[in-house]
Structure 1
Amino acid sequence: MAKVVVTGGNGFIGGHLVSRLAARGDDVTVFDPGPVPPDLAVPGVRYATGDIRDPDAVAAAIPLDVDVVYHMAAVVGVDRYLSTPLDVVDINVIGTRHVLDRAGRAGAKLVLASSSEVFGRNPAVPWSETADRVLGPTGTDRWVYSTSKAMAEHLVFGFAAAHGLPVTVVRYFNAYGPRQRPAFVVSRTIHRALRGLSPVVYDDGGQTRCFTYIEDLIDATVAAANDPKADGESFNVGSSVETPVRSVVELITELTGVPPTVVPVDTRERLGDRYQDLTRRVPDTAKAAEILGWEITTPLEEGVRRTIDWARDNPWWLALPDSGLS
C-alpha cells in the first residue's frame, strides 16, 4: 500500500486514477478545487478542496509522509483555453510549481500528466519523446495550453535536476471514456447522439487522432509511478492507430443508431486567428513499451461501446450541458 495524493482527482483522468489506486488498496487523498460529484465519490478516499494556485492549500493537502503525488490538475479543453487563457497559465504553471515545492519537501515521487499538445503542429509524425515543438504565434490562444504544459514539464525536470526529486512525465494522446466532460470528440458526440442530436464536426473532419481508452491510459500512469526506470523520463501514452475524426463520429452514430448527418463548424469563420487545428497527431510509443512494458489493449470500437453503455446507464451525465464549440 502506498500513500498517494492525486491533484485534480475529481476530473476525468484523475477520477479514473483514484478509482484504480483505491481498488488496489492505496491510501488516497484527492486535492481538487470543487467537491466530488456524488456519483463519483470513492469509498475510503479523502477529498480535500482548495485552489492549486494557493501554496498553503497545496501544503495542507500533501502530507510530508506521502509516497507518490500524481499531478493531474490542469485546465483542459479548447473551449476553456480559448475563454480563460490566463487561468490556463496560472493553474498549469504556477500550480505545478506549488505541487513540486511540496512534493520536494516530502521527497515523494511525482508523476506529471502532460499532453500531446506540447508537440504543437510538428508535421513529422509519429512523434518520439524528443521530437521538436512547432508552435504558432503567441497571439493565437490555441497555443496557450501547449505552452503551459511544456513549461510544467520544464519545471518538473528542472526541479528534479536541482533537488534530486524522482519525477516522470506522461504525455496523453486523445483520451476518451466514461465520465469525460462532453466537450471532446468522442464524449461530445456520444452525449449529443444519445439525446437525439446531430454530431458537430470541425471543418471537414479529416484531421486524424490516435484515440486512447481511459483504462489503458491509467495502466501507463500507474506503471510510470511504480517503475524506478521511469524516473527522470517522459513517455508518450497513446494509441498508434491513426483515425480521422469523421470516422470516429460515424462509428458513434452507427453504434447509437443516430442518423450520421453532422453539424459542420468552420473554425476559421467561427474563431478567426484564435484557433489553429492540427492535421495529424500520432505518438511513437516504443519507449513506453520498452521501459514500462505498456501497450494499448482496447480497440477503438470496444472502447466506444463501453463508453456508450456507461453513458446510457448514467442519466446525470447526459443532463450535463454541451460545452463544446458550435
Structure 2
Amino acid sequence: MAKNKKVLITGADGFIGSHLTEALVREGYDVRAFVLYNSFNTWGWLDHCAEDVKGNFEVFAGDVRDPYGVKRAMEGCEMVFHLAALIAIPYSYHSPDTYIDTNIKGTLNILQAAQELNVSHIIHTSTSEVYGTAQFVPITENHPLQGQSPYSASKIGADQLALSFYRSFDTPVSIIRPFNTYGPRQSARAIIPTVISQIAAGVKEIKLGALHPTRDFNYVEDTVRGFISAATHSQAIGEEINIGSNYEISIGDTVKLISEVMGRTIEIIADDARMRPEKSEVTRLWADNSKAKQLIEWEPEYAGIEGFKNGLKKTTEWFLNQENLIRYKSDLYNI
C-alpha cells in the first residue's frame, strides 16, 4: 500500500476503527473517516483521538445503509477498510432486523460501489463469532460456520456476500476475522471493559454472565496491524484470515487476571440479565493464526499469558484515567 494512498474507513468512529484511523494517519495515508451521521455532530471516539492525529483526516458523516451516501464516501478512494457494523450480541436478540440492514445490506452497498468505482482493495471485517462454539481447536479458516446469534448470522451473511462478489466479479476483497479484540475505548458491554470499569468505579461485587466460556483475546494494536498487513499483501485478496493470538483463556480466569493486574480483591455475582440463551452461547474460541503468519506476515505482539497481561495493563491504565472513565456508565448494563 503506497503512502499517500486515499483510503476510506467505515466505522471509523468506533473502537477498532478509531485506532485504525490513527495508525493509518501516522503512516502517511490520506484517510477519509466514515462516521455515523447524528444530529449532535459527534464523531464517536474520533472526537477524542490523539493530538498528533487531530485535523489530519477527512470526516464523512453518513450511514452504510444508504447506497447513495456510501458511493459518495468512496469516490476517489483506492482502498476501503469496512468496519461499520452492529456488533452487540444481546441487542441482536432484541432488534435483529437492524443487523440485517446494517451488516448485510451495508456490506452490499460497499461492494456495489467498489464495482462501479474500481476500488483496488476492500478489507472486510468479519468476527470469530461466525464459527460458533469450536468444533475443533485451534480454529482454522476452514472451520464450519455456525450462526448462534442473529449477530453472527448477519456477519456470516456479510462475509459470504463479500466472497460471492470476489468469485462472481473479481471484486478485490479480503476477509479479516479478528478474534476478541480488547483495549482502550472498547464498549463496556464487552467483558474486559465491564470488569475494569466496575473495579475502577470502586465496585467490589462484579456482575457478570457465564464464566466458563473461553476466548482468544487480542490487544487492539495487534488487530490494527492485522488490517494494515492484509492491505499491504495482494495475496490476501479472496482469502479469509484469522487475526488471533492463539491463546485460550476462560472468562473466569480473565476476570481473576484483571483483578490481579489492578491489585483489587473482588467477588463475582451471577447476573441473569447478562446470560445468553444456552444454545446461543459460544462456549469456546481459540484461533489458529498460522495463515496470517504465512500469507500477510502478521503475528501478535501481545501473545500468550504475558502478552495478555501487558495488554490488560495498558487497557486498565487508560480506563483509570478519570477523563476516560467518566464516559462510561459502569453502574448500568447496556445490552
Do both share a fold (TM > 0.5)? yes
Residue of structure 2 aligned with 1:208, choices 197, 202, 214: 214
Asked whether the equivalents of residues 208 and 268 of structure 2 are also in contact (C-alpha less than 8 Å), the reply is yes
2:71 and 2:282 map into 1 onto residues whose CA distance is: 38
**1:313 counterpart residue number:** 321
2:165 and 2:193 map into 1 onto residues whose CA distance is: 35
- Most deviating of 290-299 and 169-178: 290-299
How big is each residue's C-alpha offset from its partner over 1:149-203, in whole Å with a ceiling of 9 and x where there is no partner? 1111111111122222211001110100001111111111111110012323323
Indicate yes or no: 2:193 matched with 1:190: no
How big is each residue's C-alpha offset from its partner over 1:232-281, in whole Å with a ceiling of 9 and x where there is no partner? 1110111111111111111111222332201212469x6657x6212211
Residue of structure 1 aligned with 2:256, choices 250, 254, 258: 250
Describe the SS at the equivalent of 1:199. Answer: strand
* TM-score normalised by L of structure 2: 0.89
| Residues 1-326 of structure 1 mapped to structure 2, 5 A cutoff | 1-34=4-37, 35-37=42-44, 38-40=47-49, 42-63=54-75, 65-108=76-119, 109-136=121-148, 143-197=149-203, 198-203=205-210, 205-266=211-272, 276-298=280-302, 299-322=307-330, 324=333
1:320 and 1:82 map into 2 onto residues whose CA distance is: 23
**1:139 counterpart residue number:** none
Describe the SS at the equivalent of 2:136. Answer: coil
1:259 and 1:179 map into 2 onto residues whose CA distance is: 24
> Which amino acid is 1:201 matched to?
L
Instruction: Point out where structure 2 has 5 or more consecutive residues left out of the alignment.
Output: none
2:197 and 2:152 map into 1 onto residues whose CA distance is: 26
Describe the SS at the equivalent of 2:288. Answer: coil
Shift of 1:304: 0.3
1:278 and 1:54 map into 2 onto residues whose CA distance is: 32
Asked whether the equivalents of residues 170 and 235 of structure 1 are also in contact (C-alpha less than 8 Å), the reply is yes
> Which amino acid is 2:284 matched to?
R
- Most deviating of 117-126 and 294-303: 117-126
1:24 and 1:319 map into 2 onto residues whose CA distance is: 29
Shift of 1:80: 2.4
- Most deviating of 250-259 and 151-160: 250-259
Asked whether the equivalents of residues 122 and 134 of structure 1 are also in contact (C-alpha less than 8 Å), the reply is no
> Which amino acid is 1:13 matched to?
I
- Most deviating of 276-285 and 259-268: 259-268
Shift of 1:297: 0.8
1:209 and 1:122 map into 2 onto residues whose CA distance is: 10
1:70 and 1:242 map into 2 onto residues whose CA distance is: 28
1:77 and 1:324 map into 2 onto residues whose CA distance is: 12
2:177 and 2:91 map into 1 onto residues whose CA distance is: 20
1:9 and 1:30 map into 2 onto residues whose CA distance is: 5
Alignment RMSD: 1.9
2:333 and 2:23 map into 1 onto residues whose CA distance is: 28
Identity of aligned residues (%): 29
* TM-score normalised by L of structure 1: 0.91
Describe the SS at the equivalent of 1:250. Answer: helix
How big is each residue's C-alpha offset from its partner over 1:14-56, in whole Å with a ceiling of 9 and x where there is no partner? 1110000001111111112143142137321111111111111
Shift of 1:208: 0.9
Describe the SS at the equivalent of 1:73. Answer: coil
2:333 and 2:228 map into 1 onto residues whose CA distance is: 30
1:88 and 1:157 map into 2 onto residues whose CA distance is: 19
Asked whether the equivalents of residues 175 and 213 of structure 1 are also in contact (C-alpha less than 8 Å), the reply is yes
